[in-house]
């Protein structure tokens, strides 16, 4: 008997919260230090817009990362992300804490990660996603291997795919009344 794959609508229906790793997901994974010792990271603007659209729809978004960086704090503040765990020693435990705070279960969460520290959490959430260039172990734990590499808008790809499946993704122009168009 052939295996029946679940549709995006069925997979995404219970998702009420999205969590993301940073290095290798919101960034391309490179950590750059200047000669003065300052750290540098690049974030993709499409991820930022996707995160804002997700939160504007009333759904919580959070960050769980093993590293700690003032740059991550700044980006989260800029986007309005309030569920932020840096220097995580146990991402699964931290996800449980966020789930309790936002009032959902791990089965109602999506998580996107890219490497071994993410595998435990990827195996427990309702929707586990990884960038196209994720490490093998993370890919094996994922429900979805996305088309985009980390740092190139992969979080936006995930958000748009979930929201389209939930019929909550709409274009700005779709929200305008006919007499409000430019």
Is residue 131 a contact partner of residue 112, using CB atoms and an 8 Å limit? Answer: yes
User: Phi and psi of 158, rounded to 5°?
Assistant: -65, -50
Q: In the chain, what are the domains?
A: 8-172 (3.40.50.1000)
**pLDDT tens track, the chain, 182 positions:** 565 568 899 999 999 999 999 999 999 999 889 899 888 899 999 999 999 999 999 999 999 999 999 999 999 999 999 999 999 999 999 999 999 999 999 999 999 999 999 999 999 999 999 999 999 999 999 999 999 999 999 999 999 999 999 999 986 555 555 544 44
- Number of Cβ within 10 Å of residue 8's Cβ equals 15
Burial state string for 136-161 with b = 16 or more CB within 10 A and e = fewer than 16:
ebbbebbebebebbbbbbbbbbbbbb
162 three-state secondary structure: helix
For the purposes of burial, counting CB atoms within 10 Å of the CB of 90, is it exposed (0-12), middle (13-18) or buried (19 or more)? middle
Q: How far apart are CA 128 and CA 18, in angstroms?
A: 10
23 marked as binding residue: yes
Residue from 119, 179, 131, 124 nearest 24 by CA: 131
List the one residue out of 19, 29, 79, 47 whose CA is nearest residue 155: 47
21 is in an annotated binding site: yes
pLDDT at site 182: 40
* Whether 110 contacts 17, CB under 8 Å: yes
Cβ-based burial of 108 (10 A; exposed 0-12, middle 13-18, buried ≥19): middle
Q: Is 94 annotated as a binding residue?
A: no
């Amino acid at each position: 008997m052939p295996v029946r794959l679940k549709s995006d609508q069925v997979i995404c229906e219970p998702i009420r919260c999205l969590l993301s790793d940073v290095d290798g997901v919101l960034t391309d994974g490179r950590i750059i230090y200047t000669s003065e010792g300052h750290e540098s990271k690049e974030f993709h603007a499409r991820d930022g817009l996707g995160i804002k659209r997700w939160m504007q729809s009333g759904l919580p978004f959070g960050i769980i990362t093993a590293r700690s960086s003032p740059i991550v704090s700044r980006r989260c503040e800029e986007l309005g992300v309030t569920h932020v765990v840096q220097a995580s020693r146990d991402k699964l435990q931290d996800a449980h804490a966020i789930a309790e705070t936002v009032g959902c279960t791990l089965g109602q969460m999506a998580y996107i990660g890219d490497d071994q520290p993410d595998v435990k959490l990827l195996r427990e959430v309702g929707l586990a996603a990884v960038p196209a260039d994720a490490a093998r172990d993370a890919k094996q734990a994922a429900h979805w291997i996305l088309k985009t590499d980390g740092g190139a808008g992969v979080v936006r790809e995930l958000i748009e795919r979930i929201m389209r499946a939930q019929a909550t993704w709409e274009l700005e122009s779709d929200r305008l009344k006919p007499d409000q168009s430019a």
